[in-house]
Structure 1
Amino acid sequence: MPPRKIIDHILLLIICIITCVMVSAQNKLGLDPAKWAYELSKKELTEVNSMGSLSLQLMETDSVKALHFLDAVERSANAKGYFFTAHFCMVKAKFLYDKCIMQDSTRSKQPGDVNRIADQMRKLFVTALDAAYHTEDDKTIGWVSFYSAKTMRKLGETSWAVMYSKNGVDLFEKIGYEVEPTVYTDLADLLLYVKEYDQCIRYAEKGIAGWAKVQDDNVFINTKTYKIRAYNIPGVAHYEKQQYDSAFYYYQNALTLAKRYNDTLWTAILLGNIGKLMFTQNRYDSAYALFVNDYKNSKQKGAYDNAANAAQWAARANLAMGNKIVALNEARDALKLLRFHPNDIYLRNTCYTLTQVHRALNNYDSAFYYNELYNKLNDSLEREAVINSLAISKARLNDEVSRYNIQKINKEKKEQFFIRNVLIAAIIGLFLIVLLIINRGWLKQKIAVEKAQREKKMMEQEMLSAKEQMNSFTSHIIEKTNLIEKLELQIASRQATEEQTTVIAELIQYTILTEDDWIKFRLLFEKIFPQFFQTLKQTVAEITVAEQRMAALIRLQLTTKQMSAMLGISIDSVHKTRQRLRQRLKLNSEINLEEYIASV
Structure 2
Amino acid sequence: MMHVRVYFFVALVRLLTGPSLLQAQPSFSIQDIHGRLERYNVQPSDSLLVIENERYLEAERNGDKLEQAISLQKMGRICYDMGLFAQSLNYHLQAEKRLVKGPKKERADNLNDLALLLLLNNQSEDAKRIYFQALSIYQTSGEIKGQATTYGNLGHLYEKSSNYDSAYYFQQKAMQAFEQINDLDGIALIYENLGSIYEDQERYDEAFTYFSRALDRFKVNGNTSMLIDAYNNLGDVYRKTGNYKQALRYTRQAEKLAKENQALSRLSSAYRDLGKVYGFLGDADSVFHYLELSRQLYIETYNEDTKNQAALLKVLYDIDRKDARIAQLARERQTAIIIYATLTMIGALLILLFVIIIKNQRQKIRSERQLRDQETDLLQAKQRLMEVELQNKKLQEEQLQLEIETKAKEITSHTLQAIEKNKLLEEMKDALTEILKNDSRGYKRELRQLLNKINQNFNKEVSWGDFRRVFEEINQDFFIHLQQINPDLSAADIRLVSLIKLNMNTPDMAALLGISADSLRVSRYRLRKKLGLEPGKSLTAFLQAI
Q: TM-score range by the shorter chain?
A: 0.3 to 0.5
